[in-house]
Amino acid sequence: MPWPRSSRRTVWGVLTLFTVLRFGVLSVKITQLKVPRLVQNGSDVTLDCEFQVEPHESRHLELVVKWFFGGDPEPVYQWIPAHGRPQGLGLLKGRLDLNYGTRNERGSAGIRIVGATTELTGDYKCSISTYDGEDFMIKPMIVFAPETNMYLQYGRPAEDTFNISCVAEGVFPEPRMFLYYARPDVKDKTAIKAASLCETQQREYPMEGVTVETGRRGDSFTTRASAEVEDLEHFLGAILFICELRVPQTEYCQRRAIMYLPGGDDESHQIDAEGGSGTAELKISALLVAVIPTVTILYHNF
């Protein structure tokens, strides 16, 4: 027979009181854990853990500050203010600004990582304890690496076919890649630059038959997306081909664009980030390539 509701409330009340008296859960409390959700590879990053200690604890306080990473039971940082300086341990040994923790006794148990790298992606747990109580909070952080190289290229394996291939190297975490096409309003570098912006407003269509391959090299990924077009009559007039790179769990986005001009003036225009240009001969069509916004364009002559 189930217990009456009033009896269950009484039991929970007794258990709660016992927990408070036994473990002192009210003696220390973490009020806010500040862990950036996303940081760039190689940057310095600060993680803060704000806490409060009950007034009756302050007279015999034995504060212990610990940080843990990725579910490992061994800390990567520990500081007992009464016993000396903080320590960087495990994965964070030699990678911390140990002077940053000097204000921890005033209610902030922060750490500062110098030159965070991609292997530091994971969950961070801050633990604050005294003789009579302990509290902790956990938050994730992603250390992402933008591509070291990204290019979109065009090939003609036969007169009636051509293929589009896009490659991005050095990305972390594992990215996603998409190929689109669009009909440009104008046939110059203005349309290419507009298509190279992730917030473009033009109408675009996903390409069919796209193959995406991703492989890991050390601490980063290389992704390649490709598609072959056999029915050139489907693309009457100028066509923009667009490659889009996105990193999941982030808002990071990069694009490259190519303009295909069937029956053009047999020139290819090279456009760099500063707006400079050059020309190179092509036998079949004119090809415009843009790399936006900060990388000098990589031009491939086929």
pLDDT tens for 120-150 read: 999 999 999 988 789 999 999 999 999 999 9
Q: What is the mean pLDDT of residues 5-30?
A: 48
- The CA-atom distances, in angstroms, between 95 and each of 43, 44, 47, 269, 290 are 12, 10, 13, 47, 39
Q: What are the structure tokens assigned to 22, written together?
A: 């036994």
Q: 77 pLDDT exceeds 60? A: yes
pLDDT computed for residue 59 by the predictor: 46
Mean pLDDT (the chain) is 77
Q: Which of 104-108, 265-269, 275-279 has the lowest mean pLDDT?
A: 275-279
Cα separation, 115 vs 39, in Å, equals 10
Give all domains of the chain, ordered by start, each with its CATH number. Answer: 25-144 (2.60.40.10), 149-291 (2.60.40.10)
Q: Which amino acid is at 294?
A: T
| Beta-carbon count within 10 A of 124 CB | 22
Match 């217990």 to its residue by tokens: 3
244 has a pLDDT exceeding 90: yes
pTM of the model: 0.70
Query: How far is Cα 47 from Cα 237, in angstroms, rounded to an integer?
Result: 54
| Confidence band of 189 (pLDDT split at 50, 70, 90) | confident
